[in-house]
Chains A and B, each alone.
Chain A
């Protein structure tokens, strides 16, 4: 009995970790065949959430599908703050301090922001104190825009 155990134990010790991986992987493959690969399951996110989550890929895909990058969307709790928020994708990019996301959003949008929208966004960036985002917004400034920020407050904490 002991001799048999001595013979089996080292073999089992070498094989078990890999075998566990093999069995787990087989289950994953079967799930993938059924269309629900656990590691490639995509959680749906809207454009504002994509801006917070540094996901320009989703942003551009949604814009190419015709979605409006200036429309407000709900951002689930705990992504940007503890509470749910309603922000446009550009506002969300400013709140998340993601200059590159704001750049991609404004570049990919079919229309440039109008003067009032731009002023609002610029004020938010100034209030947020992010120079990179502010400089990015300057690239898309309409001629008639101002930087009058009276009454503008950040909708996020």
Chain B
């Protein structure tokens, strides 16, 4: 189609990086979100909801000033700056530190599903609004806590039908210790480069020979035996302890039966946020990580409550692209039609089918039947006439109530509409 002037009208467009989800896509995302909610809830993580807007200061307090120029900002009535949340861990840390930890004690297991907003580059094709689902385990600093959230992450992927995903685990406490001997400016430079994933020429950023050796080896510190190979780079007992702790987490994951885990010390995520173990899941079919998380023991302290914490977040739209949801067409499968005379009976039938888990539309006339529906039911003169559009011939035929239930895959129980 040629681009005409009228097609550039504002109301035909959406701002860059924002999009609509038509029913099919919305149903897919909804199915993935429900599977995640249910999984989190079964593991004892209770859902919390925080506002979409926070004070800009709160977000900067939690995530560091580096993020500030990537936020959607709004000037509030009193002239105060608000921002749309770019993720949900910081709002939860605020909520926990100011209220929940005091009211409920620790550990706290919290979950969330909600929209987040990022001010990405114009034209980069990256979404500026997307959905994150995740959990936070607050007040538990032991390796078992890290293993629990990693195992839950693996379970969440499995529940969404993702096959072949592997969780890659690194540790920033180990890296920080190995870089601790560098002068402050050099340390910052190396961290910046690691954050930008610039491994080319990385070793040249450090004049210190042992740090340079580590930086050269870093892209190879993954796979079996990594913990032993990395041991020589520990600078102090802190680095050795970090590796031992990572070993303890892996042993615990074995007991969980989580086997698709690999140590990968080049997993960095973000130094301004994470303090210890970090992890990302990768799987076939997408060039992006399926989820990411780790330990952030310093974050709650920024809101006045010293408290170890770990968790992860999943990009729900990205996961939807590779997830295999059970049933997510978004379209009503059953349509019931009747003339005005038989309307009451038709509505009772629809009500019964809905109660038994079927998605039902009541159409006033056969001409108003949605094209995507599979089953057409016409009620007239006490008779039920069924059309299965997917069946051979696809003709209309009279059925008994028991036959109707069988055709729709329902248990043969008698419905309430019968009298």
Do chains A and B interact in one complex?
no
Contact surface of A with B, Cβ cutoff 8 Å:
none
Contact surface of B with A, Cβ cutoff 8 Å:
none
